[in-house]
Amino acid sequence: HTATTTEISPFETGIQMEAPNPSSTGLFINGSRETGQDVRVGNVTAALAVANIVKTSLGPVGLDKMLVDDIGDVLITNDGATILKSLEVEHPAARVLVDLANLQDQEVGDGTTSVVIIASELLRRGNDLVKNGIHPTTIISGYRTALKAAVSYIKKEMVVNVADLGDEHLINAAKTSMSSKIIGKESEFFARMAVDAVKSVKMNATQADLAGYEAMSEGPTAIASAKKQRSKYPLSAIHILKAHGKSSTESHLIDGGFAINAMRAAQGMPTFVEGAPDSPVKIAMLDMNLQRHRMGMGVQVIVKDPAEIENIKRREMDITKERIRKIIDAGARVVLTTKGVDDLCMKYFVEAGIICARRCNREDLKRLAKATGGKVVTTLADMEGNETFDGECLGACDSVREVRIGDGE
């Protein structure tokens, strides 16, 4: 933000270009160069213009923004990242602020408006210092020193171990994030649900996590005490499923279970499968088609005897049947796939009393595989070129049930 040179592309709209002597500027034909205080003022002005758009939407008394696009679609929100993402920002300095808000939304999930306002204010005050004769490099060094001092103070004086906090403090933190959102009126209900969901995915930190924590900590004593109690809460392990047709307060957390948006591929399949204490229900998670085997593209088969056509069709069906048989023999009682399942394969699953669901979301299956201790299988081919299905790839659970939620299937 303190660069003293800006190169303007001749392809940007709304800018009139002259044709200076290329040898004097070092640029391509029809390019121009602007340097000095004018460019800095322009960058700061653009950043302040972006910040002023979202400034009035900050805080619990912030106002919502109504955004209308070219075709008339209306979007009402007070989330900074959503507002800036919907705007068509062309100025390069202002576009940096938009990227900053998006990054904050991805990494933290909250504070998107705050980071834009803070960044623009730092730019404005830095520009005032430049006007007073201070070099931009000196200002940047000062900002970096202030950043280190601020982070150090937060770590020493303000950071509290999550294990020392009760649910009350965590719920208050969640309610603060929700206060300016649409569900702010029901913040008590959703804050409790969010805290319970995050606590349910608690897991012990790995050696790599401890090494990263050790690099950030100061002093061996703090490291030794932190290693004993270090835990992590991976938010990617939390699966959020949305359904229409009921009140928002009828949302609920499935404790000790996993929900996936899928339905049985055929009506003849059971809706409920339960395992015994010594034999849990095995789940096969596939990322492949379960359809009749067909010859590859570009493969031609010349048949002289018409009777051989029936043998080819029969062999295609047998190959499919053998694949299904390998999955069933491995012990799978539930089959979930991201691709399609045709009627021929469904027939075998119905006869075996297996629940099969198709067109499942790949990310959902990855989470399910992690939760059940299985693996997502992409192919049945092994190292020898044969087709096998490893039973270790199956996930395990107590029971599987199909339940209709809201208006969806």
* 349 neighbors 290 (Cβ within 8 angstroms): no
Taking the C-alpha atoms of residue 339 and residue 255, their distance in angstroms, rounded to an integer, is 29
DSSP assignments along 140-189, one per residue: HHHHHHHHHHHHHHIIIII---GGGS-HHHHHHHHHHHHTTSGGGGGHHH
Taking the C-alpha atoms of residue 212 and residue 215, their distance in angstroms, rounded to an integer, is 5
* 396 neighbors 368 (Cβ within 8 angstroms): no
Six token digits for residue 310: 């029936």
Own/partner pairs, 247-253, CB within 8 angstroms, 24+ separation: 248/183, 248/186, 249/186, 249/189, 251/190, 251/193, 252/193, 253/193, 253/196, 253/197, 253/200
According to DSSP, residue 339 is labeled S
Taking the C-alpha atoms of residue 221 and residue 228, their distance in angstroms, rounded to an integer, is 12
Q: How far apart are the first and last CA of the chain?
A: 52
Residue given tokens 């034999």 in the structure block: 279
- In this prediction the pTM is 0.62
pLDDT digit of tens for each residue in the chain (409 aa)?
A: 444 444 444 334 333 444 445 445 555 667 777 777 788 888 889 999 989 988 888 877 888 889 888 888 898 888 888 888 888 888 888 899 889 888 988 888 778 889 999 999 999 999 999 989 899 899 999 999 999 999 999 999 888 877 777 788 888 888 887 876 777 778 888 988 988 888 888 887 776 666 655 555 554 444 444 445 577 888 878 888 888 888 888 888 888 788 888 888 888 888 888 888 788 899 999 988 887 766 667 778 788 888 888 888 888 788 888 888 888 888 889 999 998 888 888 888 888 888 999 888 888 888 888 888 888 988 888 777 788 888 888 999 898 988 888 776 6
* Beta carbons within 10 angstroms of residue 257's beta carbon: 12
pLDDT confidence of residue 142: 95
